[in-house]
Chains A and B, each alone.
Chain A
Amino acid sequence: MVGGLTEGPSGEVPSTVRAAQLACASHGLPSSRVAPHTAPLPRAAWHGFTTSIVDQRLTGLAARAIADEAFPVSSEQRAEMEVLETDAAALCLRLDAVLLEVSALLAPFAEHRALKGAATAHLAYPDPALRCYGDVDILVRSDHFDAALAALIQRSARPHFDEPRPGFTHRFSKGVAVDWVGGIEVDLHRTLAAGPLGQSVHLADLFEPADTFELGGAHLLALPREVRFLHGCYHAVLGSSRPRLVPLRDVAQMGLDPRLDDVEVHRLAGSWRASAVVARAVSLAWETLEIVQPTRLSEWAASYRPTAPEHRALRCYTSTEERYARQALAMVGSIKGVRGKISYIHALALPSRSYVAERDGTYLRRWRRAAQLLRRAGSDR
């Protein structure tokens, strides 16, 4: 981040850098009308641009745009991009090796699926090299989750956080991130999102007959196509308060695939209470990447009006403030049964001593902080 050329303090990106990012993010989409990049970026803007594309995992698309002469660069810039592309490809290969290792470790006792990263690169893009990624994501069946995490820890993986209470993750959380050997992050998922919208996903749908892709001689299981598309929508809309470009490209890439069954997408979205998520993701992808080819899904998304509860649920994720508190508050309503709700509230209000020590120091400080967060989050619900 130099000279305010990437994101400023409020997260805004200078228009030249944003235009260059968009030119890369839309490269190869035949129906995108994003203005082509016409001249090499000046030195300072180039620095901001390269920093941002590494951060946004856009290196593969940027390198291809340059190679296709769709993104003019100087010879110095071309050489620099070659190094960045090689670094990104090397990281992806390391991640693929870890994915294979973890998948082989889990296979005997934990049903699992490869998510995002390698699965999206291999199944959604014409060339996996276009899609870069920065960690390993694996979905594990909920009742196999604790055993899977224990197996990873036995292999020296270190979870980023303790659970508030034993069993909390496999009942209520999205999953756990662990540090794997070599500084690789492995995200072990139980569902597709944190908070209430993760809780309403029908987990059995995720383990319907899988799609497969080949990696290093192994056939890895991935989510079925329509479930993958919904996950792409979740990632694009719920993953961060500001939608990132690669997840939007994923939505466009999958949404324009004629094999995508939109009837099945609607069925799943309806039963997961995720229609507003899909509508927002598709609308954002089509608008941001200026896609002029309508599909049945994009036309439906453009006319979709979220209900008040859907709007409230989305705000837990799209708000830039108190995201965690908003999601925690909304979670209570989405948990089935009084005992489940009590168990959830109890775990967060009275977590283990080690959990409190790591985060808040004392119980009193935790309760005070929670009260403040909940007051702020609840005040504008």
Chain B
Amino acid sequence: MGELRHLITTGGSTSSLTDERCVRSPEALWRRTTSGALVAVPDGGELLHLNQTASLVWDELAEPRSPSEVADAIARLCGRTPETIRGDIEQVLGQLVSRGAVWSAG
């Protein structure tokens, strides 16, 4: 559990995620920090350092949510339109899913 990976959202990426609902892995250990959150991936020994935006995604995934639902919720929080942030959200979600911190809720 030593490596830190910074999940930095950048604009303009396209998504390969479907609109399937996802949820945090219940086994993931995590802790909020003032700059975002730190997530310990189950069994992987890897620590993910989520920045502020990524930690908003993490917060939303306490309950099963589709990428669209996450984008809608965060857009409301940030005063943006969902279309302008959906790419960022999907990028973060993709990284969380690929590392096993977030699962399909299907």
Chain A contacts to B: CB under 8 angstroms:
63-64, 66-67, 82, 85-86, 89-90, 92-94, 96-97, 100, 127-129, 215-217
Residues of A close to B32: CB separation below 8 A: 127-129
Is there a chain A Cβ closer than 8 Å to B84's Cβ? no
- Which residue of chain A is the closest to B35 with respect to CB atoms? A82
Residues of B close to A97: CB separation below 8 A: 1, 29, 40
| Closest 9 A/B residue pairs (Cβ) | A217-B26, A67-B34, A129-B32, A93-B40, A89-B31, A217-B27, A89-B38, A216-B29, A63-B34
25 residue pairs A–B, Cβ–Cβ below 8 Å: A63-B33, A64-B34, A67-B34, A82-B34, A82-B35, A85-B33, A85-B34, A86-B4, A86-B38, A89-B33, A90-B4, A93-B1, A94-B1, A94-B40, A96-B40, A97-B1, A97-B40, A100-B29, A127-B32, A128-B32, A129-B33, A216-B26, A216-B42, A217-B26, A217-B27
Q: How far is the CA of A69 from the CA of B82 in the complex (A)?
A: 31
Total number of residue pairs linking A and B with CB closer than 8 Å: 54
Nearest Cβ on chain B to A365's Cβ, whole angstroms: 43
Cβ A92 vs Cβ B31 within 8 A: yes
Main secondary structure of the interface of B (DSSP, over half): strand
Chain B 1-54 interface residues, beta-carbon cutoff 8 Å to A: 1, 4, 25-35, 38, 40, 42, 47, 49
- Which residue of chain A is the closest to B26 with respect to CB atoms? A217
Q: How far is the CA of A63 from the CA of B33 in the complex (A)?
A: 8
Q: How far is the CA of A67 from the CA of B28 in the complex (A)?
A: 25
Q: How far is the CA of A63 from the CA of B35 in the complex (A)?
A: 10
Residues of A close to B35: CB separation below 8 A: 82, 85-86
Cβ A216 vs Cβ B28 within 8 A: yes
Q: How far is the CA of A157 from the CA of B34 in the complex (A)?
A: 34
Residues of B close to A215: CB separation below 8 A: 29
Cβ A86 vs Cβ B49 within 8 A: yes
Q: How far is the CA of A93 from the CA of B34 in the complex (A)?
A: 16
Residues of B close to A100: CB separation below 8 A: 29
Query: Given A90-B4, A217-B26, list of 10 further CB < 8 A pairs?
Result: A64-B34, A66-B34, A67-B34, A82-B34, A86-B4, A86-B38, A89-B31, A90-B1, A93-B38, A97-B29
Residues of A close to B34: CB separation below 8 A: 63-64, 66-67, 82, 85
Nearest Cβ on chain A to B44's Cβ, whole angstroms: 11
- Which residue of chain B is the closest to A92 with respect to CB atoms? B31
Q: How far is the CA of A329 from the CA of B28 in the complex (A)?
A: 47
Residues of A close to B31: CB separation below 8 A: 89, 92-93, 128-129
Residues of A close to B49: CB separation below 8 A: 86
Residues of B close to A216: CB separation below 8 A: 26-29, 42
Cβ B33 vs Cβ A93 within 8 A: no
Selected contact of A93 from candidates B25, B27, B29, CB within 8 Å: B29
Residues of A close to B29: CB separation below 8 A: 93, 96-97, 100, 215-216
Residues of B close to A64: CB separation below 8 A: 34
Interface centre among A86, A92, A97, A128 (most CB of B within 10 A): A86
